[in-house]
Structure 1
Amino acid sequence: MKKTLTQPSEPSDSAMLARVDRRYFLRSAGVAAATGAFILGACTEQDLMSDDTVDLGEGDFGILNYAYALEQLEAAFYTQVMMTPYLNMTDMEKWILTDIRDHEIVHREFFKTALGSKAIKGLTPNFSAIDFADRKSVLGAAKLFEDTGVAAYNGAGKLIKDVNYLLVAGKIVSVEARHASAIADLINPNALEFAGGQINNMGLENAFSPSVILSGVQPFVMDKISGKNLPR
């Protein structure tokens, strides 16, 4: 059902995606890459000490915030990867990982702008379990994040009411799946199991509910994230 909002800063559901300019996102991603401004949420003393829980919200806005949170995590991860490349990273690997980083930044900024004042805050990542100097550690984490992202979009699709949002989610998940395949190939080149074990016996990608996904990614985020009000 459409919402009627009186505040000009909070557009209606149907108007949210219409205001998103593709050129803006490509341009903002380029600026971010040049300035380093895309680092996920500055880690301040207040952030670390806060017991506040980030509530994703409800309805389609909640699902968009759910996707926004995941894209924040991925963008921050690949940003760190390219700021501190692991030992003996090849030119091909740099090209692939840089490309993925730029995609994730565009995805993150898309959701941030589409949500407007309803967007959750910038989250603070916790990558202490990842050794960014080690190729195996970095690519293992990349595989986890990409596989998780694909399963998250697949699982959330049925919860989206607005077909415009569903269309965008379908386009983004196809890109995330390409990322997952590229990472799997870097880990195990020319393997017969190119999908990294993420295809079930029905020939379909995994699909997990938000509660499962949020539980899995929580160790990588300092903020407490709650999806209790998300549609089920």
Structure 2
Amino acid sequence: MKQTFSGSQTIAQIVTDFPHAANLFKEFKIDFCCGGQQSLTKALEQKGLDEETFIQKLRTSYEEEKKRGEQQLTMWKLVPSDKLIDHIVHTHHGYLRQELPVLSSFITKVSRVHGEAHPELIELNLLFHQMKVELEQHLIEEEEILFPLIKRKDGQAFSPSEKSLFEKAETEHSTVGEILQKMRSITQDYTLPEGACGTYTLSFQKLELLEADIFQHVHLENNILFTRFTQ
């Protein structure tokens, strides 16, 4: 489905729907955090920027990013397993290790400050930290057990007990996916309340980015890497 942008959308909504737009807003010094609740039209007027030109830049950036993502996913089908594993560890595992502690701090703060008025944030905090524990253990098991096994036996047959490690990893992926779905549901697709503070806004934006990265991460493992040894 083609992404559309309009001046009536808030800055926060545009970044939520298209996280890479944050780079464009930074380039033009448009505040997408504390000023995220104002409309694109108003933000552009304040900067003296032409709305039609800016929206075209957004559309072009979106199409380029979409094409880049599709090309990258296709490319990984041709990459040897050891190189694919290195990419997953350095890019996606590295991202999680960097972002999970940051998000933990943000979501805990937002839950503590705004939880009384928005009780869904208390549940969000619990769900996020459940997922954080699941992911941190999952990364260790992959890096210390499953991935070394794949590198060691690439091209050789796997025993039934070794194949069960793939099933376990996929089950853990499903568990994380279910938690992500619950988090999105209770926040009504990460819809921000009127007057949301900067930390509140940034937390939801980062959760959207986290979800997108996990989806790509799991796709590379379930649909590309693991199928080489389980089918």
Give the TM-score taking structure 1 as reference length. 0.29
Give the TM-score taking structure 2 as reference length. 0.30
Structure showing greater Rg: 2
